[in-house]
């Protein structure tokens, strides 16, 4: 067999593997993660709630707080559920805040057809903010969002109603998030496949499966429109959202704003990484902004 033929066959095989791999990856990225959550811990003092939203029914737990304190909405990361935010909820309850933990659409007990990287999830954020306004009229509302929860907050229509926003480990755009994760997963041997996979996932599968484009999912472009003080937090060793990307998010946000680089943290739960530091930094940020 001539050498050029062998090369062409090899390239064709590589193309087939790349396309098949991208299809599998694309399906895995958007597949819902339903879970049975069960009752809230007795120590939380929460009641189960079900909130109607434009994205479908949203399940969560609501913890009533003191009359002289504001409310905090807690939003988990991708492929997780409200239980990821339980330690934060317990801490905020001790401070007297009302707290709402929800399962984002396509997670936990909030049904949806697909994970949409903030497009559909942002509608659940809008409904949750409205719910808190109804439960505690006149009290300020803050949001703490992690990764997908952070992006969903920034892409929501309710940011102008908020008194404070904490964004943890948030990606600047979906295309950058996918590129970062492909680089981690594929490593040096798979690097030649990365552009093909990225093209397949973002320019073909995203519009076909979700009727969205990558341009619809760029939280960095929406930061300046947030009408509230913003705290952007990211781990110094985060490879999923490298610290330079987090700094770019900070530059894009409007003042007043604050940046917290968490020493030694990768793409992990920043509260669990260093609870004392988290309580000090985030607690001080919220304290002056959540007084009715």
Predicted local distance difference test score (pLDDT) of residue 183: 79
Predicted local distance difference test score (pLDDT) of residue 203: 66
Give residue limits of the domains in the chain. 1-31+174-216, 40-173+217-287
Tokens of 259: 């940046």
Predicted local distance difference test score (pLDDT) of residue 19: 53
Predicted local distance difference test score (pLDDT) of residue 273: 98
pLDDT digits (tens, 9 = 90+) for 95-118: 999 999 999 999 999 999 999 999
Predicted local distance difference test score (pLDDT) of residue 200: 67
Predicted local distance difference test score (pLDDT) of residue 181: 80
Predicted local distance difference test score (pLDDT) of residue 211: 84
Calculate helix-pair angle for 86-94, 275-287, nearest 10 degrees: 50
Tokens of 38: 């069960």
Backbone angles phi, psi at 107, to 5 degrees: -135, 150
Cis peptide before 256 (omega within 30 of 0): yes
CA–CA distance, 116 with 31 (Å, rounded to integer)? 9
Predicted local distance difference test score (pLDDT) of residue 152: 98
First to last CA, the chain: 79
CA–CA distance, 109 with 103 (Å, rounded to integer)? 6
CA–CA distance, 242 with 222 (Å, rounded to integer)? 20
Residues 6 or more apart whose CB falls under 8 angstroms from that of 209 comprise 26, 30, 114
Q: Which residues pair with 168 in a beta bridge?
A: 146, 233
pLDDT digits (tens, 9 = 90+) for 169-217: 999 998 888 888 877 877 755 556 666 666 666 666 778 778 888 888 8
Give every residue of the chain whose pLDDT is below 50, as ranges: 11-12, 14
Q: Report whether 126 contacts 157 (CB < 8 A).
A: yes
Residue-wise over 76-110: b if at least 16 C-beta within 10 A, else e? Answer: bbbbbbbbbbbebbebbbebebbbbbbbbbbbbbb
Q: Which CATH superfamily is domain 40-173+217-287 in?
A: Alpha/Beta hydrolase fold, catalytic domain (3.40.50.1820)
Predicted local distance difference test score (pLDDT) of residue 73: 99
């Amino acid at each position: 067999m001539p050498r050029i033929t062998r090369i062409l066959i090899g390239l064709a095989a590589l193309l087939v593997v790349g396309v098949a791999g991208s299809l599998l990856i694309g399906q895995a990225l958007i597949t819902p993660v339903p879970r049975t959550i069960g009752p809230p811990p007795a120590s939380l003092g929460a009641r189960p709630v079900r909130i109607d939203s434009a994205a479908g029914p949203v399940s969560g737990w609501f913890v009533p707080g003191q009359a002289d304190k504001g409310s905090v909405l807690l939003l988990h990361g991708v492929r997780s559920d409200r239980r990821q935010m339980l330690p934060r909820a317990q801490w905020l309850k001790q401070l007297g805040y009302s707290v709402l933990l929800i399962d984002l659409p396509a997670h936990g007990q909030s049904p949806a057809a697909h994970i949409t990287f903030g497009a559909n999830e942002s509608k659940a954020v809008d409904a949750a903010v409205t719910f808190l306004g109804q439960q505690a009229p006149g009290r300020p509302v803050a949001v703490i969002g992690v990764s997908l929860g952070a992006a969903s907050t920034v892409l929501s229509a309710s940011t102008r109603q908020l008194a404070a926003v904490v964004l943890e480990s948030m990606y600047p755009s979906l295309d950058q998030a996918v590129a970062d994760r492909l680089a981690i997963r594929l490593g040096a041997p798979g690097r030649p496949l990365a552009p093909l996979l990225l093209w397949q996932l973002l320019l073909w599968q995203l519009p076909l499966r979700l009727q969205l484009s990558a341009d619809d999912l760029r939280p960095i472009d929406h930061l300046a429109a947030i009408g509230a003080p913003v705290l952007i937090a990211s781990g110094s060793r985060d490879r999923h959202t490298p610290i330079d990307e987090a700094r770019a998010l900070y530059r894009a946000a409007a003042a007043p704003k604050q940046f917290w680089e968490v020493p030694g943290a990768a793409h992990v739960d920043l509260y669990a990484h260093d609870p004392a530091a988290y309580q000090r930094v985030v607690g001080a940020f919220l304290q002056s902004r959540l007084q009715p």
